[in-house]
């Protein structure tokens, strides 16, 4: 797997949590270890991009702020597509 920036990993987490998902599901969809996921969760919850819903399922959801970040990221990707260097 290629090197991923912190921004790319953050986007993968927010996309996986969009609509609600468990910690395990997000971890697998974003290809992260549990230790990495904990680090990113702390950052995303503190800055208000991700929220935790305690309860029976313990769900994480992307907030409105997180959705705005995803929208801006996708707009930037359209303008400046990533170049694959082999």
> Confidence band (pLDDT; 50, 70, 90) for 1?
low
HSE-CB for 41 with a 13 A CA cutoff: 21
> How far is CA 44 from its chain centroid?
8
Helices and strands per DSSP (H, E), number in the chain: 4, 2
This prediction has a pTM of: 0.87
Three-state helix/strand/coil letters over 45-62: HHCCCEEEECCCCCEEEE
Return the CATH architecture of domain 6-79.
Orthogonal Bundle (1.10)
- For the segment 60-77, the average pLDDT, to the nearest whole number, is 95
> Confidence band (pLDDT; 50, 70, 90) for 2?
confident
Rounded to whole angstroms, what are the CA distances from 31 to 9, 39, 51?
9, 14, 20
Q: Where do the structural domains in the chain lie, given as residue ranges?
A: 6-79
């Amino acid at each position: 797997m290629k090197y991923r920036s912190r921004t790319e990993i953050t986007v993968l987490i927010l996309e996986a949590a969009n609509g609600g998902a468990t910690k395990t599901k997000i971890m697998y969809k974003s290809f992260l270890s549990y230790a990495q996921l904990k680090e990113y969760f702390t950052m995303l919850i503190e800055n208000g991009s991700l929220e935790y819903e305690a309860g029976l399922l313990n769900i994480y959801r992307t907030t409105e702020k997180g959705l705005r970040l995803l929208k801006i990221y996708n707009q930037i990707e359209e303008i400046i597509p990533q170049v694959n260097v082999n």
